[in-house]
């Protein structure tokens, strides 16, 4: 289920990539999928689109995921400006990201980030490029093995704070 402000004209490339990933991860999947989109117009409607994962979709995920894994192992992170969390509302590194990579980050001037309704203070970057062995940029932390440590908001809560 997706949401949109306008009626979709087809399955977008990023949704096709997502569907190809699901097909690969789900044992016994036949590659046929359906995307239901709730369109938020004056009279809301649900648009259903059928999609079949093509061999080209499969090739794309087989090529990209290993490249992403290798980049992460090397500590290389690229900005993902199409991500809904990329913006001044959620990232205090927007100015640094624009300075380093160019382009524009959406939104007004910085501030404290909020993820899933809770304040997380100053957010760690998810898009700062870095190579293993170089000093972390924008305050990123590194593990003993030299790999980037995930920002705190990606880590599970400590065992003492988990609900029983």
Based on the fold, state whether residues 73 and 18 are members of the same structural domain: no
Q: Edge-to-edge, what's the strand order for the sheet holding 2-4? A: 2-4, 32-39, 45-52
Which pairs from 133-138 meet CB under 8 Å and 24+ separation?
134/75, 137/96, 137/100, 138/93, 138/96
Based on the fold, state whether residues 50 and 70 are members of the same structural domain: no
Give the model's pLDDT for residue 47. Answer: 95
Give the model's pLDDT for residue 116. Answer: 38
Based on the fold, state whether residues 6 and 74 are members of the same structural domain: no
Give the model's pLDDT for residue 158. Answer: 53
Q: What is the tally of structural domains in the chain?
A: 2
Based on the fold, state whether residues 51 and 69 are members of the same structural domain: no
Q: What is the dihedral of CA 87, 9, 54, 37, to 10 degrees?
A: 70
* 156 falls within a domain: no
* 149 falls within a domain: no
Profile the chain (164 residues) by mean pLDDT over runs of 10 residues: 92 93 93 95 94 96 93 86 85 86 71 38 42 44 46 48 49
Based on the fold, state whether residues 135 and 90 are members of the same structural domain: yes
First to last CA, the chain: 31
Based on the fold, state whether residues 45 and 72 are members of the same structural domain: no
The model's pLDDT over 107-144, given as tens digits with 9 standing for 90+, comes to 744 433 333 333 333 334 444 444 444 444 444 444 44
pTM of the model: 0.57
Give the model's pLDDT for residue 5. Answer: 92
- Give residue 87's domain range: 65-143
* 148 falls within a domain: no
* 17 falls within a domain: yes
* 60 falls within a domain: no
Based on the fold, state whether residues 107 and 133 are members of the same structural domain: yes
């Amino acid at each position: 289920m997706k949401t949109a402000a306008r009626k979709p004209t087809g399955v977008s490339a990023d949704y096709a990539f997502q569907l190809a990933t699901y097909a690969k991860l789900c044992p016994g999947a036949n590659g046929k999928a359906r995307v239901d989109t709730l369109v938020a117009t004056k009279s809301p409607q649900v648009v259903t689109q059928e999609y079949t994962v093509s061999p080209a979709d499969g090739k794309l995920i087989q090529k990209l995921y290993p490249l992403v894994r290798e980049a992460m192992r090397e500590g290389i992170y690229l900005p993902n400006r199409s991500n809904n969390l990329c913006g001044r509302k959620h990232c205090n590194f927007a100015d640094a990201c624009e300075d380093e990579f160019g382009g524009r980050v959406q939104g007004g001037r910085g501030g404290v980030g909020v993820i899933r309704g809770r304040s997380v203070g100053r957010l760690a970057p998810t898009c700062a490029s870095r190579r293993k062995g170089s000093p972390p940029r924008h305050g990123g932390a590194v593990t003993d093995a030299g790999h980037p440590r995930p920002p705190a908001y990606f880590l599970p809560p400590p065992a003492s704070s988990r609900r029983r």
